[in-house]
Amino acid sequence: MPAKTVFVALSGGVDSSTVAALLKEAGYNVRGIYLRLWGRPNQPGCRYREDIGFVQHVSKRLAIPTEVWDKRVEYKRLILDYFIDGYKSGNTPNPDVLCNSRFKFGVFLKEALARGADFVASGHYARIARKDSVFDLPSDKLALVTGVDPRKDQSYFLARLTLDQLKHIIMPLGHIPKYKVREIAKLFGLKTASRKDSQGICFLGDIDVVDFLKQYITPKKGKIIDIETNETVGEHDGVWFYTIGQRHGLGIGGAGIPYYVVSKDIKNNILYVAKGRENSYLCKKKIKVKDLHWITSNKAHKELFAVIRYQATPIKVVFEEERTGMYLRALEGYFWAPAKGQFVVLYSADYVKDNQKVKEFFDSLDASEIVKRLLQGKLAKEVLNLRYAKVLGSAVIDE
């Protein structure tokens, strides 16, 4: 039987290059694809030339063919316009979530399959449950599952995917913590092992979000008002550049207690703030949601846990349907600083468990042993119970 063909979305970083190395070692026919999505080579924040240099190194080191696909037009239409329009309307959009569902596993996946790929692969820290390869969690039912690394789990950003998309995706790194991935990259002789991770917007590099938005939204001075005293306490450059729960960058003091953004009046360009992180304006027991998207049915799960932003603490919740719409009510704790436009991701369990056991397990293994167990299909089973929760679906905060 001929080897399956996998197109790997190479970014020039350590994660995607390690994925390419692991797939090649596993016997797949690997092709690297660099997606050019934004910017000119000399534009601030654009790392195109640097990225290409690392991609070429990976291609040569692993002896795999690579291509550059210019998708700037599609990316602007599907992701950047959504991002900019979201802020213009006062929402808090998350381009990373839609970049995965609409673009990486939308546009890229569709074209890869049309060009002969059996799968596409990425460096996401999440896992897929099925029986297609040694990189999957053994399961009779297809599902998206949290990554084993609690500090790097990226299942939140994948919660708008469908089962049809998942069946064509491979994500080997979900079984491995990030610090071990760098060791594995070094084992394969990849220069990306020491390359610093990008911390910016999806595919945009390390550009400052506000600086980026100011290229498309004209700054306009407005008042910052203390919502409890109704006093003007400062001035801002435009409510569009701020988000609910923001503390830094306001340019105002708080007499020892910091101010946080609690509300935005878009029409009148007024930013409302309140003192203290745990004030009643930020701590909500119930939030209105819309655009529900289910990856797998929630009927078999008696408990639901919601996460309203990346790396936020899971909150036990229940759905409540009212005359005015659908709501999520916190059964334990509260939602902190929910903002309109944010994604709420729903899990089958409170997955922040056994973090110390994860570290202890991997500290006992060197990079070569991890690769060996991964390619034998053992590692996926060994880490199964260290940290596990299914991603059931997601929704969008509506108010």
Cα separation, 355 vs 320, whole angstroms: 32
Q: Which residue has the tokens 């596409």?
A: 120
CA–CA separation, 207 vs 95, rounded Å?
A: 14
Which pair of tokens denotes residue 295? 């990856």
Phi/psi of residue 158, each to 5°?
A: -110, 5
> Alpha-carbon distance 396 to 342, whole Å?
6
Selected catalytic residue, list 202, 315, 370, 397: 202
Alpha-carbon distances of 33 from 14, 16, 39, 133, rounded to whole Å: 15, 10, 18, 21
Q: Which of 8, 21, 33, 99 is catalytic?
A: 99
Asked if 202 is an active-site residue, the reply is yes
Task: Please give the torsion angle defined by the CA atoms of residues 386, 391, 392 and 397, in that order, rounded to the nearest 10 degrees.
Answer: 130
Helix (H) or strand (E) holding 317: strand 315-322
Beta strands at 391-397 and 343-347: parallel, antiparallel or unpaired: antiparallel
Of the candidates 230, 242, 233, 231, the one whose C-alpha atom is nearest the C-alpha of residue 269 is: 242
* Strand 283-284 versus strand 5-9 pairing type: unpaired
Both tokens assigned to 192: 């990306």
Coil/strand/helix, residue 361: helix
Angle at 156 between CA 155 and CA 158, to 5 degrees: 65
Does residue 99 have an active-site annotation? yes
Q: What are phi and psi of 270, to 5 degrees?
A: -115, 135
Helix (H, G, I), strand (E, B) or coil at 355: helix
How many CB atoms within 10 Å of residue 199? 7
Return the active site residues: 99, 202
